Amino acid sequence: MALATNGTGAAVSVPVNRIEERFADLRQRGRKGLVVYIGAGDPDLESTRRLALAFDRAGVDVLELGVPFSDPLADGLVNQLAAQRGLESGTTPPKVLETVKAIRTESAVPIVLYIYFNLLHRVGLEQFIRDCADAGVDGLLVLDLPPEESGNYESLMAAAGLCPIYLIAPTTPPERIAIIAPRARGFIYYVSREGVTGMQAKVSDTIGEMTARIRSHSALPIAVGFGISNADQAREVARHAEAIVVGSAIVNRIATLGRSPDLVPEVSAFVASLSQAIQS
């Protein structure tokens, strides 16, 4: 247990966060981390649960669950379509949290919700964060919530024992990196290229320079994502970061396989190949 302050400033006891524990363990063992993104409810929430458990066995260190939203502005076509399929399968934020609870009965894999602020605002910030903590969520990556406009979000997250994950991009000015990096917890997500999510033929050649700049402001692990599509790219990016993030390449396989009985074994085998690549 650790101490934090709640929204009123009172000290409260919160559990040590699974994301922080996982990265501390990786650092101690000299290993790189694998962060995997999938759209919750694509093709359905039972598949999401089964994929999560298989990913845990395949070596995933942090699982990002995209909460379906009607206007996913930070996402490319592959992940937009995953969000649409999630909505069509009847996936809602409360149902995602029920799925997290089901995962928690069998797995302690750290879980981050990849989400847009409107969904938190509709429920109420304090209530949503409390519901996430109760379900077993470890962090939130709110795509459209700038730190400067986050109000009491960070204090509520700290009181609940959750990590606010923030994004830094190649276009983020140095003065904003100096503001964002110290306010993150768990890890910093470096978006390795401009634009939306999606698979790319090659990785950016400025990753080393940018991760060094971020490290001058924070000792947190850096996870690099947006565009990593295969084991070779994963291996290359892992040289510059504590973790890599792979999303669209996995989501694309889920889209192809759908409700096929091969969905979980084939997608988890691909994920296992990424996990092996970043340690080589």
Query: Which residues of the chain fall below pLDDT 70?
Result: 1-15, 193-204, 280
Q: What is the pLDDT of residues 54-98, one digit of tens each?
A: 999 999 999 999 999 998 887 888 999 999 999 999 999 999 999
Beta strands in 116-238 (DSSP E): 139-142, 163-164, 166-168, 188-191, 222-225
Domains in the chain with CATH codes: 2-278 (3.20.20.70)
Cα distance between residue 32 and residue 26, in whole Å: 6
Answer yes or no: are the C-beta atoms of 63 and 36 closer than 8 Å: yes
**Of 44, 64, 138, 242, catalytic:** 64
pLDDT of residue 11: 56
**Of 56, 75, 138, 242, catalytic:** 75
* CA angle (60, 62, 64) in 5-degree steps: 110
Sequence-distant (6+) residues with CB within 8 A of 32 are 26, 238, 241, 242, 243, 244, 278, 279
Q: What is the pLDDT of residues 131-147, one digit of tens each?
A: 999 999 999 999 999 99
- Residue 82: what residue type? A
pLDDT of residue 200: 46
Hey, what are 181's tokens?
A: 């990096």
What stretch of H or E contains 86?
Answer: helix 77-88
**Which 3 state secondary structure label does DSSP give 246?**
strand
pLDDT of residue 12: 57
Cα distance between residue 255 and residue 238, in whole Å: 26
**CB-based burial label for 196 (10 Å; 0-12, 13-18, 19+):** middle
- Catalytic residue list contains 232: no
pLDDT of residue 94: 98
- Catalytic residue list contains 75: yes
pTM of this structure: 0.91
Sequence-distant (6+) residues with CB within 8 A of 119 are 67, 69, 93, 128
